[in-house]
Amino acid sequence: MQISKEKKLAMLRSLLLSRKFEEALTELCTIEGKVPGMMILCTGQEAVGAGVCAALQPEDAIITNHRSHSHLLAKGADPKAMMAEIFGKRTGCNNGKSGTLHLAVPEVNAPCTTTVVGAGVPIAVGRAFAQQYRQEKCVTVCFIGDGAVDEGSFHEAVNLASLWNLPVIFVCENNLYAGAQRYEEHTKVRNIADRAAAYAIPGVLADGNDVLAVYTAALEARGRAINGAGPTLIECKTYRWRGHGERDHQLYQPKEEIKAWQAKCPVAKLRGDMLAEGLISADELREMECRIDDIVHDAIRFAEESPYPESFEALEDVFA
């Protein structure tokens, strides 16, 4: 499939933004008391969010999970509002109610980040049902990890989506670990994509470190969905460079394994390919990276300078 230079540039920007945003968070997490709560990063997996979201239109929705940063940034969420939310500030995208774990950005049709593993699947199916009900030509993507396919909610919701031909794409980011449990230790099915057969929907395997492969698979799945052909399950095989969270010492992840996957870095791959193909010059790349560095620095400064919410604000937003 021919992918335009502009599309590739957009994906490169998206990959770099997510990587730099999270590298900054890794750094911030080493400063005691800087960022409250847990920090769950998708470093190394950015090609999935960048590739899938590049295949979407603004009116398409995404439902994501605790490892959400690249999905949300790729969907167009404001890095400043995200960073401020991660800091727990009033200017955050959810006024300090959600933090990094539950970021909700309905203005870019990313209304739900759920940390309950597998719980996004029924919600995405509901979102897709609304799109079908109103005969809209758009889709909902549900990002899940490999642990989620072991949840009952996954089974119930994928079955329903298949039965009703709903315009939904299930994107399973198989990063080889569910918590500390390696893939082989929690499921015997070799490929998660194979599970699609149980629901009579297409199951597609994609190299989750190749943003163009992910983009291509998502674009095809979107085409099927908006043409009434129902859902697709895409398994993107990738790897989690960091621990489950930043306080995880990764004792169960072999160092050589991490190194081997770092050698397959999705950012370096697209950057290298585009340089080699002459789609971007070294100078243009430097300029792009500088601009993204500025975006991340501005986001951090904005978050740092923003006020915390007043304690009484905790009482707001329970009911409409």
Partner 1 sequence: MQQLGMGQAVNQALREEMTLDSTIFLAGEGIGVGIHDSPMLPTYGLLQEFGARRVKDTPVSEAAIAGLAVGAAEAGLRPVIEIMFNTFFTIASDMIVNHAAKLRYLSGGRSSFPLVVRMKTGAGFSGGCQHSHNLEAWVAHCPGLKVVMPATPADAKGLLKSAIRDPNPVIFIEDMMLYYAPGPVPEEEHLIPIGHADVKRSGKDLTVVTWSKMLGVALKAAEQLAREGIEVEIVDLRTLVPLDKESVLSSVRKTGRLVVLHEATRTGGFAGEVAAVVMEEAFTSLKAPLRRVTGPDIPVPFSPPLERFYLPNEEMLIKAVKEIL
Residue ranges binding partner 1 (CB under 8 A): 61, 63, 92-98, 102, 104, 106-107, 111-112, 114, 116, 119, 121-131, 133-134, 140, 152-153, 156-157, 159-160, 163-164, 316-320
Q: How far apart are CB 310 and partner 1 at their closest, in Å?
A: 14
Q: How far apart are CB 250 and partner 1 at their closest, in Å?
A: 28
| Cα→Cα distances 123→63, 65, 188, 277, 300, Å | 8, 12, 27, 41, 31
| Cα→Cα distances 319→101, 106, 112, 315, 316, Å | 21, 17, 17, 10, 8
Alpha-carbon distance of 83 to 93, in angstroms, equals 9
Count other C-beta atoms under 10 Å from residue 106's C-beta: 11
| Residue 111 or 179 with smaller CB distance to partner 1 | 111
* Both structure tokens of 266: 């999705």
Q: How far apart are CB 120 and partner 1 at their closest, in Å?
A: 9
| Residue 150 or 220 with smaller CB distance to partner 1 | 150
For residue 308, the 8-state DSSP code is: P
| Residue 129 or 183 with smaller CB distance to partner 1 | 129
Phi, psi of 61 (to 5 degrees): -110, 155
Q: How far apart are CB 196 and partner 1 at their closest, in Å?
A: 17
| Residue 90 or 269 with smaller CB distance to partner 1 | 90
Q: How far apart are CB 193 and partner 1 at their closest, in Å?
A: 21
| Residue 85 or 146 with smaller CB distance to partner 1 | 85
